[in-house]
Structure 1
Amino acid sequence: MDTFEDISQEEIDEIRRHVDEHGLSGLPGIVQDKMRDWRNVPLSIAVVGEAAVGKSTFINSVRGLTADDEGSAAVGTGDTTKEPTMYRHPYNEKLVFWDLPGVGTPKYPQDKSYLGRVGYSKYDFFLLLSDERFTSKDIWLAREIESLKKDYFFIRTKIDDAMESAKHSERDFSESRVLERIKNNCYDNFKAGQLAQRAVYCIDCYDKHKWDYTKLMEDILVSLPELKRNALVLSLSPLTKGLIKSKTVVLKTRATKVALVSGIQGACTSLIPIPLLGGALSVSLDVALLAAEVTFYLKQYGLDDESLQELSSRTNTTVDYYKDALKDGSAIMASRQSVKTYLMNVIKSEAAEEAVKRIPIEMCRFIPFVNALVGGTANFATAYYMLYKMIDDLEKDAMKVLDALIQATSSEVD
């Protein structure tokens, strides 16, 4: 089990000051506000490149939409983007993707005014897309972005078309050899254009599990400062296994705070104590808060009914197809109880028993003030252990659903 360092020293000091001045009154709200901060972190991503390289398709893909969904970016074969157009993420309005007009069009010619006219300063980073070949315009645009000290990721789109073409034209077709050839061509052009060497991400917007889509997402996350990284992780759907694992990391940082709030609520309100297994001990927890947090986890991992229904619709399957993939999954997915009822049963049984045995030693080492805040270690320990275990279980469930998705989509292609 990880340590309790998910609460920073700065946060501990803030909690102590508040308790010294105001007691426990208002403290749960302060801690909860910190957990909501991720939806107040602005993140603007520019998607740029020549006309018809697939910018709109990529924007729809990363937002989990198709071209005919409400709010999707217009997809076409020509210059469909006339002005910088923003597309908010459906789950977080502060996360904005900007579809920028293709460079070299009559209205946006290839000159020094281009990036200024599209408002380069407001973007956190650029995604530079190119399709069938690396052009002089790509080199020019990359130079301009570099000169402005902005980060960018070079993405090679329409790899599926390149693969199909190679299959029909090459006697000894090799997917890995085609990818190597595409990337080497890009590297050669980087060198010829006197650009800094960087990764080339070969992707298929319609199949996120092929080639470099996962690596692209991972590298974007690594490049961001912590607050923006966490906001992006919690905003995106569980598109890849790497993103699922990133969600687990971020959600575990919340578990400590949620457990603390639940314990405080139990200590300073008239919540009815919950007897633990054997009746030797009882805890007072805000079960409604814990249920809301677990419901949040289900949404994050794409395991709630709405997400599974949406997934089945997009893949021409049934919800039962994905539920069958979870037959050997976690107990909460197999249970027909409400989340709150399920948690009550868990608290009374295994989670509490394990928590009392495992947590107190670590707790005394990392956050010694918890005992005073929540009226004993059992409140906090029970909530924390239960949430932590729930996150691990749901991560495994999300991986099962993703495997089923990959199987479904690969069957469609075959």
Structure 2
Amino acid sequence: MDKFEDISQEEVDEIRRHVDEHGLSDLPGKVQEKMRAWRNIPLSVAVVGESGVGKSTFINSVRGLTADDEGSAAVGTGDTTQEPTVYRHPYNEKLVFWDLPGVGTPKFPQDKSYLERVGYSKYDFFLLLSDDRFTSKDIWLAREIESLKKDYFFIRTKIDDAMENAEDSEHNFSEGRVLERIKNNCYDNFKAGQLAQRAVYCIDCYDKHKWDYTKLMEDILVSLPELKRNALVLSLSPLTKGVIRHKTRALKRRATMVALTSGIQGACTSLIPIPLLGGAISLSLDIALLANEVTFYLEQYGLDDDSLQKLSSRTNTTVDYYKDALKDGSAIMASRQTVKTFLMNTIKSQAGEEAVKRIPIEMSRFVPFVNALIGGSANFATAFYMLIKMINDLEKDAMKVLDAIIHATSSEVD
């Protein structure tokens, strides 16, 4: 079982003080408020590049939307974006993507006023998009961003078009050679423009599972400070395996906090006891607290009914197609029970007793917190064991669904 180390003694003490000063009545609400704060750290992303390179399409893609969805960025050819336009993530209004006007238009000329007029200082990082050729405007933009000491990622869009053109014109077509040629051209231009060498991400906004889309998401997440990284990953849909793995790490941090809350409740309250090990031990778990957390995990991994329904519509499949992919998955996905019913049955089953047997193991991992858990160690160990196991199981389920998506969409292409 995992050890999750990111919860601090300061956070434990904060919960303990809250219990001492206010009692337990609103402790779950306090914890939920804190976890919402983790998720809603402001993050502002600038998407820049010449007109027509696919900035709006990328913004829709990373937000899990199509051009037809409400709130999507307008997609077109030519100078679609006339002013800096903000697009909020549908699941987190604090995560915003700015579609910036193309540089070098009459309204936004290629000079020092460009970045001032688009408000460069408010962005956490830039995504610089280019399509079928590397231009002097791209070099100029990159230089200006570097001069601001801001991080940026260079993204080469419309790779599907480049592949089609190469396949039509080359006798010995090879995707690998085309990608290498595109990237080497970019590296040569970096050098000629006296820019720092950096990764080039070749992507297709309409197929997130091709080429470098996954690596782009992974590298963006790794580059961010922890709080902003968590805010981003808990807002993104489970669109790549890298994102899913980052979700798992963030959710385990939450699970520790929820388990700690459960432990304190067990030490200080008299919820309805659940006898285990032949009645030798009784738990007083707040099932509603745990059920809300597990429901959040299902939503994060895209495994709840609403997410699967939307996914089936977007991929021209059926919900049953994805449920079939999960037939050998986790117990909660196979049981078709409500979350509360599943948790109650799990606690009363052998799994619940296994959790209790692990009390010494789990408690040894959280030695700094033991003083906050006197009398509630069984609650803490059981909640922690169950939630971490649930996260590990659902991560595998999310990977199965992702593989099913890739198979469905590749079949459409074939």
Query: Same fold by TM (over 0.5)?
Result: yes
The verdict on how the C-alpha distance between 1:397 and 1:82 changes in structure 2, with shifts beyond 3 A counting, is: same
> Which position in structure 2 is the counterpart of 1:190?
190
The verdict on how the C-alpha distance between 1:22 and 1:319 changes in structure 2, with shifts beyond 3 A counting, is: closer
Q: Is the contact made by 1:248 and 1:392 (CA closer than 8 Å) also made in structure 2?
A: yes
> Could you list the per-position Cα deviations for residues 107-141 of structure 1 after superposition, in whole angstroms to 9, with x for gaps in the alignment?
11111100000010111000000000000000000
Q: Is the contact made by 1:28 and 1:264 (CA closer than 8 Å) also made in structure 2?
A: no
The verdict on how the C-alpha distance between 1:374 and 1:334 changes in structure 2, with shifts beyond 3 A counting, is: farther
> Which position in structure 1 is the counterpart of 2:150?
150
> Which position in structure 2 is the counterpart of 1:301?
301
> Which position in structure 2 is the counterpart of 1:333?
333
The verdict on how the C-alpha distance between 1:309 and 1:294 changes in structure 2, with shifts beyond 3 A counting, is: same
Letter in 1 for 2:247: K
Letter in 2 for 1:96: V
> Which position in structure 1 is the counterpart of 2:136?
136
Letter in 1 for 2:103: V
> Which position in structure 2 is the counterpart of 1:71?
71
Letter in 2 for 1:379: N
Letter in 2 for 1:127: L
Is there any run of 5+ residues in structure 2 with no aligned partner, and where? none
Residue 278 of structure 1 aligns to a residue in which SS?
helix
Letter in 2 for 1:144: E
Letter in 1 for 2:384: Y
Q: Is the contact made by 1:49 and 1:102 (CA closer than 8 Å) also made in structure 2?
A: yes
Q: Is the contact made by 1:89 and 1:96 (CA closer than 8 Å) also made in structure 2?
A: yes
The verdict on how the C-alpha distance between 1:155 and 1:265 changes in structure 2, with shifts beyond 3 A counting, is: same
> Which position in structure 2 is the counterpart of 1:56?
56
1:161 aligns with 2:194: no
* Alpha-carbon shift at residue 238 of structure 1 (Å): 0.1
> Which position in structure 2 is the counterpart of 1:98?
98
Residue 358 of structure 2 aligns to a residue in which SS?
helix
> Could you list the per-position Cα deviations for residues 288-347 of structure 1 after superposition, in whole angstroms to 9, with x for gaps in the alignment?
010010000000000000000000000111111111101111110011211000000101
- My pick for the range that moved more, 362-371 or 251-260, is 362-371
Q: Is the contact made by 2:9 and 2:368 (CA closer than 8 Å) also made in structure 1?
A: no
1:353 aligns with 2:353: yes
* Alpha-carbon shift at residue 271 of structure 1 (Å): 1.4
Q: Is the contact made by 1:218 and 1:242 (CA closer than 8 Å) also made in structure 2?
A: yes
**% identical equivalent positions:** 88
Letter in 1 for 2:45: I
The verdict on how the C-alpha distance between 1:78 and 1:372 changes in structure 2, with shifts beyond 3 A counting, is: closer
Q: State how many pairs are aligned.
A: 414
> Which position in structure 1 is the counterpart of 2:395?
395
State the Cα RMSD in Å. Answer: 1.7
Is there any run of 5+ residues in structure 1 with no aligned partner, and where? none
Letter in 2 for 1:78: G
Equivalences for residues 11-410 of structure 1 within 5 A: 11-18=11-18, 27-367=27-367, 369-370=369-370, 373=373, 375-410=375-410
The verdict on how the C-alpha distance between 1:134 and 1:264 changes in structure 2, with shifts beyond 3 A counting, is: same
* Alpha-carbon shift at residue 348 of structure 1 (Å): 1.1
* Alpha-carbon shift at residue 260 of structure 1 (Å): 1.6
Q: Whole-Å Cα distance in 2 between the matches of residues 119 and 365 of structure 1?
A: 46
Q: Whole-Å Cα distance in 1 between the matches of residues 79 and 57 of structure 2?
A: 13
Q: Whole-Å Cα distance in 1 between the matches of residues 39 and 145 of structure 2?
A: 28
The verdict on how the C-alpha distance between 1:194 and 1:336 changes in structure 2, with shifts beyond 3 A counting, is: same
* Alpha-carbon shift at residue 256 of structure 1 (Å): 1.0
TM-score, length-normalised on structure 1? Answer: 0.96
Q: Whole-Å Cα distance in 1 between the matches of residues 372 and 215 of structure 2?
A: 45
